Structure 1
Amino acid sequence: MTSRQSARSLRVSSLVVVLAVIAGCAAAVPPPPHVLAPPAPRISLEDVLDAVGKAPVLRTLPADLTPSLATTAEDVGFDHEQCEAGPRADRIEPCVFGDRASAIDVVLYGDSHAGMWVPAMSVIAERRDWRLQVFGKPACPALNITFWNQQEQRPFAECDRFRAFVAARIAAIRPELLIVTNESFSQKSGRGELITPGDWQAGLTHTLRTLKDFARQALVLGDTPVLDQSAPECLAAHRDNIAACSTTRTAATARTWNAADAAAAKATGAAYVSVLPWLCTALCTPVIGNVTVYRNRFHLTGTYARMLNGALEEALLEHFPPDAVP
């Protein structure tokens, strides 16, 4: 390892430890957006990729693991009870982050994976003076598909109504940037009827075609790979063998429909951003640096998502540069 690599690794590690997963959200009559304190560090894509590349050689859990295994499962990173629509809800007043008076409207829309990126997106909105509004409903992807409510074993009619509600709100907001992101793992359209990649692509294509006329730029943020085992439980049983809780990139990505996401984006003129380089080399590991990456098998911890604010910002600005708005 070169001295430059060592310094960079230490810099990433020290920055990550201080990440406070704090965010604000709006009520029915939104107050001014919450100001993050302390400001989150902007870790560059180069440093993130360096840390990801070193992760597979980690053997033992770091003494300063953040979040701790005891708190990992609850490390969501924002007020999800206030900012996400509940199981029976078909509408929600969006949480607002960043600059409430901004001329640049950004909408983040999807299921729980939209919420998963709030810790990073709220930091970006604050830094770039965007007005970020979040429309999220867990287990309710933004695709034009009637999903199966797997908890109640019935068609998810509230999800259909929520999509119609959000479409109307986006048409009214007409955001400069619309970011759509969803969880494709193990989604169903009926009892025992898994949604295929073709179904997923068709449903997302329909949604993007419906919404893209209301946004200056639409962007699909790819899905996160899915681990073989839930990170906190596995790591608790293998504190001296992190590798036992890692998953090959091939297996982890075979469980998600990222190719369908990318194809739908291309078919509709939307941008597509893959998040895989921020998480995996040939292996997808549950610990990167001194950070617990996953809070289960398929959701990032709020701490790790917030660590990625710099990498996500760089990716967004490739498709939505600072001078995109006159």
Structure 2
Amino acid sequence: MIHESALLESKSLRDGALDRTDVLDRVKALSLLPDGMHVTTAMVAAYFGVTAEAIRQLKARHHGELSGNGMLTLQGPDLAEFKRDVLSRYPAGYPQPRSSLTLYSRRAVLNVAMLLRDSEVARQVRTYLLDMEYRARTQPVDNPVPSHSVSLDDRIDQRITHILGETVVPMFNALIETSGEHQRELIALRAGVQQVEKRLRQHHARLHRLEGPREDRPLAGVMASMDAMNGREFEEHIATLLRRDGCTDVVVQGGGRDRGVDITALTAHGRRLVVQCKRFAPHLSITSAELQKFLGAAKVLHDSEVALFVATCPFTRDALNIAAETGVTAVHRGLLEEWSAGAALPVLG
């Protein structure tokens, strides 16, 4: 088994383990900020039992690698927005930074664990990571599959489909041939099984379409990349999607002069479009009050013909009802992922 110190020296080893952020909570509970996604430098230091200065020095030495894995520093309007949307909810629980604030995603914290030498917690995380990797490579497999195969769920679907088609349906055929009294019931049951088999085959085909790479959409990790963005980056990402789908005159407002909206544009057919962007943690929700506030700005201040409320989280039932009644398009996390992956929003057509 590879010694845990190997992660300190090998970036390729670190890159291969960065998806295992669950290891952090297995070693020690990691407390997050109210947005459910980030921690501060002080919180990272507390988790690893080192000084904040040690984390700052590590950040200076490995800034590029950490930034690529979700570390970001907020300043100016981005910091003001984060203080307003996140820290202000718990004003007594978190410091209010004046000029800048460095945030770490869970992935960045795991990256720190693989770089921090003088921390027993970090050493335990590295040992746990390599132990899990060793067990995964040495665990015997009854039915090995090629490395290019799809997910475990996909293989289970294929196995169930095979059993239904090669075993269960033929069994029904034999029973129908020898049964007179219950023949009608058996035929109905066989039809039901065949329908299930058909749906599983369709599901299997759909998984291949969704999981397979395509030139017109990014690969997996769309939402993870958005969760790592700051507010301005998220707005620019949405602006890019609008331009991709034929919108013109796309302007990211930003700052205190946005008059209640984040982006203005014209659709492909020249209709006035306004967009509100909210990059919230997935466990939060857009409320009816937030949607009503946007509705007032969109209709009254901007005289919009198309209004999008785009969020990285769900909407409450009341908010969705208001959106449906007033013609606002609520782009929740699932719809946002599909849009970012290449699907078109009908309202923009």
Give the TM-score taking structure 1 as reference length.
Answer: 0.31
Give the TM-score taking structure 2 as reference length.
Answer: 0.29
- More helix per residue: 2
